[in-house]
Amino acid sequence: MFSTFIRLGAALSCAAMLCSCGGNSVAETQQSTPEGIFAGQYKVTLTNQNVNPAVTVSTCSENVITFAVATGSIYNFYPSANNPAVLNAADYGILSFGGGAMSSSLLEVVSPASNSASSGSYSFASQYSPVCDNFNNSLAAANLTGAYNTGINIAGTLTFSSPDAAGYINTTSFNMNYDADYQGVQSLSTLAGTYNGYVSTSQFAEPASFTIAPASVPANAGNSLGVSVLTGTGASGCSYTGSASPLYKGNGYNVVMSSGPAPCKLPQAQFSGLMYLNTSTNILYTFAPNSGRSDGVLFSGKRS
pLDDT digits (tens, 9 = 90+) for 240-266: 999 999 998 999 999 999 999 999 999
Task: Point out which residues pair with 204 in neighbouring strands.
Answer: none
- Which residues contact residue 255 at a Cβ distance below 8 angstroms, ignoring those fewer than 6 apart? 230, 242, 243, 244, 271, 272, 273, 274, 275, 286, 288
Question: What confidence score (pLDDT) does residue 113 get?
Answer: 87
Mean pLDDT of the chain: 83
- How many domains would you assign to the chain? 2
Burial class (CB in 10 A: 0-12, 13-18, 19+), 65: buried
160 and 189, same domain (yes or no) = no
Q: How far apart are CA 284 and CA 304, in angstroms?
A: 11
- Could you give the angle at the alpha carbon of 280 between the alpha carbons of 274 and 284, nearest 5°? 30
CATH number of the structural domain spanning residue 110:
2.40.160
Question: What confidence score (pLDDT) does residue 18 get?
Answer: 43
Neighbours of 12 (CB within 10 A): 15
- Residues 265, 248 contacting (CB under 8 angstroms): no
188 and 170, same domain (yes or no) = no
CATH number of the structural domain spanning residue 261:
2.40.128.120
168 and 229, same domain (yes or no) = no
- Residues 124, 207 contacting (CB under 8 angstroms): yes
Question: What confidence score (pLDDT) does residue 282 get?
Answer: 95
H helix intervals, 1-119: 18-21
68 and 142, same domain (yes or no) = yes
267 and 154, same domain (yes or no) = no
Question: What confidence score (pLDDT) does residue 223 get?
Answer: 57
Please say whether the dihedral angle defined by the alpha carbons of residues 112, 199, 110 and 282, taken in this order, is positive or negative. positive
112 and 156, same domain (yes or no) = yes
152 and 231, same domain (yes or no) = no
Picking from 181, 206, 230, the residue at the C-terminal end of a domain is 181
Q: How far apart are CA 231 and CA 142, in angstroms?
A: 31
Question: What confidence score (pLDDT) does residue 225 get?
Answer: 72
Picking from 165, 181, 197, the residue at the C-terminal end of a domain is 181
173 and 248, same domain (yes or no) = no
Q: How far apart are CA 56 and CA 168, in angstroms?
A: 9
Question: What confidence score (pLDDT) does residue 49 get?
Answer: 64
Picking from 130, 147, 181, the residue at the C-terminal end of a domain is 181
For 90, the enclosing helix (H) or strand (E) is: strand 87-94
Query: Is residue 84 helix, strand or coil?
Result: coil
Note whether residue 3 is domain-resident: no
149 and 63, same domain (yes or no) = yes
Q: Find the domain containing 156 and state its range.
A: 18-181
Q: How far apart are CA 43 and CA 57, in angstroms?
A: 14
- Residues 76, 286 contacting (CB under 8 angstroms): no
Question: What confidence score (pLDDT) does residue 236 get?
Answer: 95
- Could you give the angle at the alpha carbon of 128 between the alpha carbons of 124 and 133, nearest 5°? 145
pTM for the structure as a whole: 0.85
Ranges of residues in the chain with a pLDDT under 50 are 1-31, 117-119, 221
292 and 224, same domain (yes or no) = yes
pLDDT per residue as tens digits for the range 118-160: 445 567 888 988 777 655 578 888 999 999 999 999 999 988 8
